[in-house]
Amino acid sequence: MSEVGQLGFLGVTHPTTCLPPGLETISTATGKQLLVSGWWGMVRHPNYLGDLIMALAWSLPCGVSHLLPYFYLLYFTALLVHREARDEQQCLQKYGLAWHEYCRRVPYRIVPYIY
């Protein structure tokens, strides 16, 4: 049951999962593949970008007359930037040279053309 729940997550890098045709990957020394096309070809953490867009969407209906509704967005941005920095270190240790190639091909971390 646990494996079934993780299929969506593992489909990104799991080497035995069949990827749809046309997706580019980088093979790693660990036998896994890093996806470098689609959303993961634009930014390294598109799921974090989606989280930030949702946080902004929850704040916008409150207007811009006060900062308080945007506290969640600010907090969440700081949290995800810090998490992303830790992810970078872990992935560098795990994938080595393949991670350097991945970073060269996908230069933006969370927000395309910005960060």
In a domain, 84, yes or no: yes
- Give how many domains the chain has, as a whole number: 1
Give the range of the structural domain holding residue 36, as residue numbers without chain letter.
2-13+26-105
Residues 58 and 50: their CA atoms lie apart, in Å, by 12
Residues 46 and 43: their CA atoms lie apart, in Å, by 6
| Total Cβ atoms within 10 A of residue 91 | 17
In a domain, 18, yes or no: no
Q: What is the pLDDT of residues 69-83, one digit of tens each?
A: 899 999 999 999 999
Interval 95-105 mean pLDDT: 92
In a domain, 111, yes or no: no
| pTM listed for this prediction | 0.71
In a domain, 36, yes or no: yes
Using the predicted structure, report yes or no on whether residue 11 has a pLDDT greater than 70. Answer: no
pLDDT recorded at residue 10 = 43
